[in-house]
A and B are shown apart, each in its own frame.
Chain A
């Protein structure tokens, strides 16, 4: 088989010209560098403490782009240097290329956390927006020694106001007056150099809403029996707080020989910042005790004359109706916080349930703001009732025991006595 080779002379010329041009470019690059012995920093970086753009709706703190610290790190080459310049440019990190200072960026205000010599003892900062100049005092002990790692923080910088990449160009000089540097596009006779890229990014804003919560329940079931340890437990609903005070069968009755008691339990959980109060209001608003005539009179009156000075004993045979509120217990299953009983309903020396309790039923306190809260306090016959317990902080699964007690006298008219007691939890958020 005969093979014929055809040479395209014009095509070969084009290739040769192209190769020649490439060779000239590559060979000529070093000629573009201002300093024949200059070497590039190794391990160079600038780390920002905040990459957020300035001038956004976030005006302070992380994400605001203000008061940012730039940690400058580099390792010098063999050259000894007494000054250095860092130019921040929007275009590129190429030495002597056009440089526009990033919009919105401000000058550094200080140097700190120096590890090395640059920026440390004997060095002076001269900063403008987009430029940092550092010069030593020409003391050789303060020189940047070749081959050493230099680390320092530039503080108080306001980031550029636009997101995107920007660049830092760094150069060191043999004297402490920046050699022949005049601008970012005319950097003069620097010793070593290096470029880094930095990025301003959109701040990641994470918002979580915690809504106001208030959970309060009252039940005749002991919280130790609650399957779910909170107000959603079926035992709570299955045992409504309807108490019948008395003794004997088949109908429990009050008489003058006993003080009969009944116990209910409450649990409060709230994230209210200022805590919560628990008010009790008696449906028998004219007297605050137990009534057999729809609240017109209370033949079983509020104990201790409805005093608001402190809990007191109830004596069998002296008709009275009262309430004891225990100290709180944080549920063993995650409970947090305390709910403090009011001293009107709690005497710290008489807290043994049910044998040694003192009781209260405030019918005398005038309605007024409860200390530390916005909510009202008053008497059980007042508009918003009497504060029986309170907390000044959020709580979770905190439980109190309420013991109601009553006794009749020989002259307590026969009848069926009742009181509906609104137990109202109010959070101050």
Chain B
């Protein structure tokens, strides 16, 4: 080997040695902190732990010794919380849209641009961070797309951009998991019944479906009552209409009250309302825990009416049980033709689910 070759070989060896030393220094400075205090009382709280949710993260930790801090690195890893070791980025996690919406304690930080999808670097002009609690709240973080435990690695730096050797450090474990769901079905129902008498608020306890006015008179109002009970959980409520004819006997009729009127003995009248009346003293106001009321045309005491297909009750919401009492009156003139007068009335309740 010539002298020139020997010199070249020695130079190469020196350069190689230098590179090895440089690499060792670099790796060492990356792994091992300069001062190495563990940050105290560390918490990372998620507002939503569902996979891939856009989430709010609350980070809190304590500086346990006063030191110059210019930046804080929060690195999210799937493998472990140990700073300086290789980090497996959580699948699907994205912190690039993170926004720091609040901070307490040693402050003045902002999110550095250019942070990776699994890290947030908070930077500021380097300043002393006293022994204190620091909190940071972020929005706009996309959770990992896979359930499981994840880790946040915290490192503080004297530099303002997360470069150089870190000083303090700490790890936090957090979870992305499925959450309970509760489902319940409330089936639709409509309770509606009619009868001469409904005992209590129970459609199972009904008596009668026939009202007998007896002998009609031009001098005295004849009257009778029936009841109906309604309840429904129809979201849009319900209405009750009725249909039928006035009292009829063959071709003879007793005039239906096409408009509201009081009872007038000696005048042909057939009508009803849904109130407690005094003339005649008959009927009852609506009862039950529900809230519906009669339509105005049928809600005036001592005022009667009979118009086929009229709506007598309407309520726009689900309603608990209501019991209505219909009071029917019949008056006839002196010359009312003899006969058996009959009317059949049908109530229809329509629930709007």
Chain A positions within 8 Å of B, measured between CB atoms, are 209, 211-218, 240-246, 251-255, 260, 262, 264, 270, 272-274, 279, 281, 290, 292, 299-300, 321, 373-376, 383-385, 402, 404, 406, 408-429
Contact = CB atoms under 8 A, between A and B. Distances in A.
Interface stretch (B68-76, B171-179, B279-287): B171-179
Interface string B191-235: 000000000000000000000000000000000000000010111
Given A252-B185, A411-B317, A418-B181, 9 more contacts: A241-B181, A281-B48, A374-B45, A406-B184, A411-B290, A415-B185, A420-B181, A421-B180, A429-B172
Nearest to A243: B182
A215 B233 contact: no
Contacts of B151: 211-212
Contact of B320 (A411, A414, A423): A411
A384 B317 CA distance: 34
7 contacts: A246-B185, A253-B184, A253-B187, A272-B173, A290-B182, A411-B233, A426-B174
Given A406-B182, A406-B184, A383 B82 contact: no
B181 A412 contact: no
Residue among B80, B172, B179 with max Cβ neighbours from chain A (10 Å) = B179
Interface string B34-50: 00000001111111111
B26 interface: no
Identify whether the interface residues of A are mostly helix, strand, loop, or mixed: strand
Interface residues of B, number: 51
Contact of A300 (B49, B179, B184, B189): B184
Contacts of A413: 186, 233-235, 318
B180 A242 contact: yes
B183 A373 contact: no
Given A211-B80, A374-B41, A374-B60, A414 B180 contact: no
Given A213-B173, A216-B175, A426-B45, A414 B235 contact: yes
A129 B308 CA distance: 122
Contact of A421 (B42, B56, B181): B181
Interface of B: 41-50, 56, 58, 60-61, 80-82, 133, 135, 149, 151, 170-175, 177-189, 231, 233-235, 290, 317-321, 353
Contacts of A262: 182
Identify whether the interface residues of B are mostly helix, strand, loop, or mixed: strand
A415 B82 contact: no
Contacts of B56: 383-384
Given A411-B319, A414-B234, A422-B48, A264 B185 contact: no
A246 B184 CA distance: 6
Closest 7 CB pairs of A and B: A414-B188, A374-B43, A241-B180, A214-B173, A374-B60, A413-B235, A411-B318
Given A410-B320, A414-B235, A417-B183, A241 B178 contact: yes
A144 B334 CA distance: 151
A425 B175 contact: yes
Contact of B189 (A214, A414, A419): A414
Contacts of A374: 41-43, 45, 60-61, 133, 135
A410 B181 contact: no
A419 B182 contact: yes
Given A383-B56, A427-B43, A417 B185 contact: yes
Contacts of B172: 212, 427, 429
Given A212-B173, A373-B43, A375-B45, A410 B233 contact: yes
A54 B234 CA distance: 85
B183 A242 contact: yes
Given A217-B177, A218-B177, A429 B184 contact: no
